[in-house]
C-alpha cells in the first residue's frame, strides 16, 4: 500500500504523544528515529529490516504468534495440516528421484512454530517411512520463541528424530534475509558451491517479506523513496538512489517506470539464492509465494507498487504506523527470482499455481480420508472449507510455486508440476 501522504502534522506522533490507536513499539521507534537524526534519511529497506527483525523489538522476533487463525495473517500451513501432508508427497518423490540419499536434508526457511514441518514429517512417517528415516530437517528461524514451539511440537508428535541442531539449521541471522544499510552488492553469481547437503529447500511465504527498496520515476530520473523523521513522525523522503543496483535491477527485469510511478526492488533475492546454491550439492528449491512477472508487477496499473502493511487479518493503510506491531510485505518479482536462480547456478525447473500443485499431488485423497475420519459433521465441513481455501486461485491457491534444481533430474516432470499452469509466463498471485 502507498505511504500516508497526509502532511506530517496530521500524522500520528509515534513518540512524543502517540495517538491512542497507535501500537508502535516506542523503543524501536526511538531507535530508528535516532538513526535518522544522526545519519540522515534511511532507505525503506533499512526501515523495514528494523521494523520486522530488530532484536527484541521487531515484528518477527516478538514472543506473540504472528501467523495463524488468532494472529495477523493466515498462511497455507496454518490453514490446515492438509497442506503439509500434501507437500510431503513432493518431498518424498524428490528423495526417490535423487537415489534415496542418506542423509536427505529438508531445509525450511521461515519455519515458524512448525505448521508446515509437523504435518510434512507426519506425512513422510505415514506414507514414506524410508524417506523419513533418511530425513534431516533443518529449520531456519531466528525467533527463539517459535523455535521452542517447533521443537516442542515435533517432540509431542514423536517427530523430533529428524530435527537437526538449531545452530546448524540457522546459517543466517534473520528469519528472512535482511538488507543492511547501506545495501551491499550481491555476492558473485554462478560460482560453484561447496555443496554441504543433498535434499530440498522449502520457502513458503518467505521471499515476500524480505526488506525492499522503494523507487519512483520523477522528472525522468529514478528517485529512491527513503524514510525521514519530521514533526514527530516517519515520512517518505525522496533521495538519490542509495546504490546503482536499483537501476541495474530494473534494467535486468525490463521494467520502465512511467513518470510518477512507484515500485519496490528486492535486492535480497540474489544473495539468498547464492547462499542456498553454495550450501546445496544436489536437489530442488521450492519457493511458494504471491508474485508476478516483472512486466505485470512493474506495470502502470500498479502505479503505487504492492507494499502492504498487515495486522489483525486486515491490510493497514500506513507502513509507518504500529512500528514493530504490523507485518510489511511486497509481491515477489518472479522474473528476478528466475534470473537470480539461474545466475546462482540453478536450473529453472518449472512454475505452477499452488492449487494446481496440490491437486497434482492428490490433495483430494487426503481430503476424503480426513472427512471420513472426522469426529463430527462440523469438523468434516471445516476440513473441506480449508481445502477449498488452499485451492482457490483467489486465495493461496493462486500463489506461485517456483521450482529450481541443482544437479537433479528434471525429466520426467516432478509430480507437483505435472499439471502446468495454462500460461506459465504470467504471475500466479491474485490482485
Residue 169 above 80 pLDDT? no
> SS3 for the chain, per residue?
CCCCCCCHHHCCCCCCCCCCCCCCCHHHHHHHHHHHHHHCCECHHHHHHHHHHCCCCCHHHCCCCCECCCCCECCHHHHCHHHHHHHHHHHHHHHHHCCCCCCEEEEEECCCCCCCHHHHHHHHHHHCHHHHHHEEEEEECCCHHHHHHHHHHHHHCCCCCCECCHHHHCCCCCCCCCCCCCCCCCCCCCCCCCCCEEEEEEEECCHHHCCCEEEEEECCEEEEEEEEEECCEEEEEEECCCCCHHHHHHHHHCCCCCCCCEEEECCCHHHHHHHHHHHEEEEEEEEEECEECHHHHCCHHHCECCCEEEECCEEECCCCCCCCCCEEECCEEHHHHHHHHHHCCCEEEEEEEHHHHHHHCCHHHHHHHHHHCCCCHHHHHHHHHHHHHHHCCCCHHHCEEEEEEECCCCCCCCHHHCCCCCCCCCCCCCC
Which structural domains are found in the chain, ordered by start? 8-12+40-417 (3.40.50.12710)
Least confident stretch, 189-193, 362-366, 368-372:
189-193
Predicted confidence (pLDDT) per residue in 3-20, tens digit: 333 333 333 333 333 444
pTM for the model: 0.87
> Per-residue pLDDT tens for 398-418?
999 999 999 999 899 999 999
pLDDT in tens, 314-351: 888 799 999 999 999 999 999 999 999 999 999 999 99
Amino acid at each position: 500500500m502507498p505511504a500516508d501522504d497526509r502532511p506530517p502534522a496530521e500524522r500520528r506522533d509515534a513518540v512524543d504523544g502517540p495517538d491512542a490507536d497507535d501500537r508502535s513499539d516506542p523503543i524501536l521507534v526511538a531507535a530508528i528515529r535516532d538513526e535518522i537524526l544522526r545519519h540522515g534519511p534511511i532507505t525503506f529497506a533499512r526501515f523495514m529490516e528494523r521494523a520486522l527483525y530488530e532484536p527484541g523489538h521487531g515484528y518477527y522476533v516478538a514472543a506473540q504468534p504472528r501467523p495463524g487463525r488468532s494472529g495477523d495473517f493466515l498462511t497455507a500451513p496454518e490453514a490446515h495440516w492438509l497442506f503439509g501432508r500434501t507437500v510431503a508427497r513432493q518431498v518424498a518423490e524428490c528423495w526417490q528421484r535423487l537415489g534415496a540419499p542418506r542423509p536427505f536434508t529438508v531445509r525450511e526457511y521461515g519455519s515458524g512454530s512448525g505448521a508446515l514441518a509437523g504435518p510434512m514429517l507426519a506425512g513422510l512417517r505415514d506414507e514414506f517411512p524410508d524417506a523419513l528415516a533418511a530425513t534431516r530437517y533443518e529449520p531456519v528461524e531466528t525467533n527463539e520463541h517459535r523455535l521452542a514451539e517447533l521443537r516442542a511440537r515435533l517432540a509431542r508428535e514423536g517427530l523430533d528424530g529428524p530435527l537437526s541442531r538449531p545452530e546448524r539449521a540457522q546459517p543466517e541471522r534473520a528469519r528472512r534475509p535482511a538488507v543492511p544499510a547501506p545495501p551491499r552488492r550481491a555476492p558473485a553469481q554462478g560460482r560453484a558451491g561447496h555443496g554441504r547437503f543433498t535434499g530440498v529447500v522449502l520457502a513458503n511465504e518467505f521471499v515476500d517479506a524480505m526488506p525492499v527498496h522503494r523507487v519512483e520515476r520523477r522528472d525522468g530520473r529514478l528517485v529512491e523513496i527513503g524514510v525521514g523523521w519530521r514533526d514527530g513522525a516517519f515520512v517518505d523522503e525522496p533521495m538519490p538512489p542509495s546504490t546503482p543496483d536499483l537501476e541495474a535491477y530494473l534494467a535486468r527485469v525490463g521494467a520502465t517506470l512511467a513518470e510518477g510511478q512507484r515500485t519496490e526492488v528486492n535486492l535480497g533475492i540474489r544473495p539468498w539464492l547464492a547462499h542456498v546454491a553454495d550450501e546445496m550439492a544436489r536437489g530442488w528449491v521450492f519457493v511458494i509465494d504471491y508474485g508476478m512477472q516483472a512486466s505485470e508487477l512493474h506495470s502502470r496499473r500498479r502505479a503505487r507498487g504492492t507494499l502492504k502493511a498487515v495486522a489483525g487479518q486486515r491490510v493497514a493503510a500506513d507502513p509507518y504506523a504500529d512500528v514493530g506491531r504490523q507485518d510489511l510485505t511486497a509481491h515477489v518479482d518472479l522474473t528476478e527470482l528466475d534470473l537470480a536462480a539461474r545466475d546462482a547456478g540453478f536450473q529453472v525447473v518449472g512454475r505452477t499455481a499452488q492449487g494446481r500443485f496440490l491437486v497434482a499431488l492428490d490433495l483430494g485423497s487426503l481430503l476424503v480420508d480426513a472427512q471420513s475420519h472426522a469426529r463430527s459433521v462440523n469438523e468434516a465441513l471445516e476440513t473441506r472449507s480449508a481445502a477449498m481455501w488452499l485451492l482457490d486461485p483467489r486465495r493461496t491457491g493462486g500463489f506461485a510455486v517456483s521450482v529450481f534444481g541443482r544437479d537433479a533430474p528434471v525429466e520426467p516432470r516432478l509430480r507437483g508440476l505435472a499439471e502446468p499452469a495454462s500460461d506459465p509466463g504470467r504471475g500466479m498471485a491474485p490482485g
